[in-house]
Chains A and B, each alone.
Chain A
Amino acid sequence: MLVPALGPVLTPEARRGLRAPAFRWSLAPALLAWAMMLWLALQARPLELCIAPRAAALDGALAGIAAAFATVDPARWTGEWAVMIVAMMFPLLVPSIGHVAARSFAARREWSVALFVAGYALVWSAAAAAISSALLIARGSLAATDLASAAGLIGCALAALWQLSPAKARAINRCHGTTPLRAFGPAADCDAVRFGLVHGYRCVRACLPTMTLPLLGGHGLGTMAIVSVILLAERAQRSPQYGASAIALLLLGLTTTLGLPPQ
């Protein structure tokens, strides 16, 4: 009974926050995912997702792509994607889960939130499957060229360009949208899933380039943490500092390319 034991420390609002569905369904899983990745890093077992193939004497781009795919264990790759999405994207779900929870009957609140999260995760799963292939193709192609060592910088530069585009700002605004939720029975189920799908789509559109392009050259926990802070900040701010985040991404690309921390 951790929460009652912390009674004198926690304010009533903080206690309420810990009991809220948003904590159970977004922050707690995200904290677990970060803890898991940190533990793996401390065990010197980096995520496979993070390792870009090294430049090699490959016979053309096709050979590079084949080599990139050959290094991947699909089950591990899928698991790592799931952990990364939970760690980086679930903290962004707090307001939307709050909307679903507040607008649902108490008796079906957890179910509605679960359906919302399922819809959201489904969209991200589809996006991850698609982007995985693209990522491996890009990594493989680059590995067979002189640009292999600059892959991280290229990825971060592309992400920085996305940050500066008007489409990014519009996409972030849409992430703040909510939809009405019918309250009873199958209609309520349907609306919870639909909101999850819609929110997932908006989220993928706004965040996927920022999240995945820096992975092009391989990365570490530090990179993921910095990108997570960028993603959180642009949701929380009224006027997100897209210029500042673009500069941060470029610096990140430079450090990745030069092999400096954060890795």
Chain B
Amino acid sequence: MAVRVRKSVWSLPQGDPTLSWYRRAVAELIGRPANDPTSWRYLAAIHGVPQGMPVPAGAQSFWDQCQHQSWFFLPWHRGYIASFEAVVAQTIAELGGPEDWALPYWDYSESLASNPRARLMPPDFFNRTLPDGSPNALFSRRAAVQNGDFSLDDDVVTLDALQLRDFANSTPGAPSGFGGPVTGFHTFGGDNGALENLPHNRVHVQIGGRSGFMSDPATAALDPIFWLHHCNIDRLWEVWRNQGEDFLNPTSRQWRSAVSFPMHDANRKPFTFTSADMLDTTKVLHGYQYDRVPVAHEPAIEREMAVAMADEEHPELAGANSGPVQLEGAVTRTIVSVQPERTGRPGLESARPRPKHVYLNLENITGTGVPGDFKVYIDMPGDDKEPMLAGVMTTFGLAQASNPDREHGGSGLSQVFDITAQAEKLGLTRGNVSRVQVSFVREGVHATNDHVPPGLEAYVRAAPEDSNIKVGRVSLFYR
């Protein structure tokens, strides 16, 4: 069979049966027992295990393995959604549907000029019932919004991540590149890769709201829209890779083959895959391609991609605030003091070379619930100029990363923004500034609808009374 072609969900013509078959397959999979590797619950639990879902015998090594804040984020999710697609496609074929069904993607970043509805969730997903009054299996517990408008604004669907050339990074204090920080098998904690941060994380929380499935990694994959969202993230990896020969996947053994991940295929047969198995989409399980990605440049895989900037000087701590900051209310501010420069002998200029890069680090971000995301601004304390946006601090996975009993001991999330341009404007790079104000502006979180999906009642959580979030330290690093 020819490889499957994944299409934009908004490009499907009127009357196209792709989503109606998806709906029938979802209903079928929800009805299967949780210990069946092709059931909706089993497939979702591979990403994260909801409270109240006991782990069946033999499932321990398959469940709760999603890779986040890691350079395995993209290859792991590619294998994961390919396995899901295989199960759904086989189910659809067994139900009498087409043999070549492929998972569609939701390109919420598409230009509004070419598709004014791009940022709206397709109606197939947001109507509670079908025209005949029966429940819609594609509806789920999500933010309570009208007409599929989850407020996916420009700063949510931004594709700035595609501009980064480094796939990964292992240097403390510096941003983690397009794909994520260098890690071993890694579920939660630390810094996001740029694509994982935006649009991935924010889209999750915008759709899930305060207590919907999508806001929590443990329940996210129970929502049928999860798979279209991740299909798009997977497509964006292809878009990034095909931009040119400077956009290279890592070729180190540590990334390509040192870590393998277990899944089941559509016939419930276990298999494992590595990142190297995920590089050519036409060879991932049944094989697939996207209808819209740039033409691939000749892959330059023989060129060893050193882990980003490995031979450069490491960034050095240049300043920090005075201690942990609890983020409360709409805006929270903290002052970062820059370490006084050592000038050496009197009369000499500063001993510290002028930095080429300035990074704002938000360290040990811990908390509970779904506090939402925060826009982070920097400016001079006491001046009346407009603060400059440093970046968006996303909090998807905060509770998992803050749990001391999970793998990373509750160290929390972290976030690194390259603020070199802003620092230049503030005079930081010229050494003229000794204090910088950092402001955290809370983005709203939608309330959640009251829907309880049939068959998934046990995993619905009430909206938490409150949430809290603390940033352990705010610091500046110079390179």
Contacts and interface: CB of A to CB of B under 8 A. Distances in A.
Interface in B393-427: 404-411
A170 B319 CA distance: 35
A183 B320 contact: yes
Contact of A105 (B317, B324, B406): B317
Contact of B322 (A104, A182, A236, A238): A182
Given A12-B310, A187-B323, A239-B61, A103 B317 contact: yes
Given A105-B339, A180-B473, A183-B473, A173 B320 contact: no
B265 interface: no
A187 B405 contact: no
Interface in A173-202: 173-184, 187, 202
A223 B325 CA distance: 47
Contacts of A236: 184
Interface in A20-49: none
A13 interface: yes
B363 interface: yes
A177 B411 contact: yes
Nearest to B339: A105
A177 B404 contact: yes
Most chain A beta carbons < 10 A, residue from B320, B324, B404: B320
A178 B409 contact: yes
A98 interface: yes
Contacts of A13: 310
Contact of A176 (B317, B409, B473): B409
B172 A102 contact: yes
B110 interface: no
Contacts of A180: 323-324, 363-364, 472-473
B185 A174 contact: no
A9 interface: no
Given A104-B317, A238-B185, A176 B411 contact: yes
Contacts of A179: 364, 411, 472
A43 B263 CA distance: 54
A260 interface: no
Contacts of B407: 173, 176, 238
Q: Interface extent on B, as a size class?
A: 20 to 34
Contacts of A184: 320, 322, 337, 339
B337 to A, nearest CB: 7
Interface residues of A, number: 27
A170 B363 CA distance: 23
A238 B184 contact: yes
Contacts of A182: 320, 322-323, 473
B206 interface: no
Given A12-B310, A184-B337, A187-B323, A103 B363 contact: yes
B475 interface: yes
Contacts of B172: 98, 102-103
A106 interface: yes
A70 interface: no
Nearest to B187: A238
Given A106-B316, A178-B409, A173 B404 contact: yes
B475 A102 contact: no
Interface string A111-149: 000000000000000000000000000000000000000
Contacts of A98: 172
A107 interface: yes
B208 interface: no
B185 A103 contact: no
A29 to B, nearest CB: 23
A104 B172 CA distance: 11
Interface in B350-387: 363-364
Interface string A228-245: 000000001011000000
A175 B173 contact: no
A123 B405 CA distance: 21
Interface in B438-476: 472-473, 475
Given A13-B310, A106-B316, A238-B185, 15 more contacts: A102-B317, A103-B473, A104-B317, A105-B316, A173-B409, A174-B410, A175-B409, A177-B411, A178-B411, A180-B473, A181-B473, A182-B323, A183-B320, A184-B320, A184-B337
29 contacts: A13-B310, A98-B172, A102-B172, A102-B317, A103-B172, A105-B316, A106-B316, A106-B317, A173-B406, A173-B408, A174-B409, A176-B408, A177-B404, A177-B411, A178-B364, A178-B411, A179-B472, A180-B324, A180-B472, A182-B322, A183-B317, A183-B320, A183-B475, A184-B320, A184-B339, A187-B323, A202-B409, A236-B184, A238-B186
Interface of A: 12-13, 98, 102-107, 170, 173-184, 187, 202, 236, 238-239
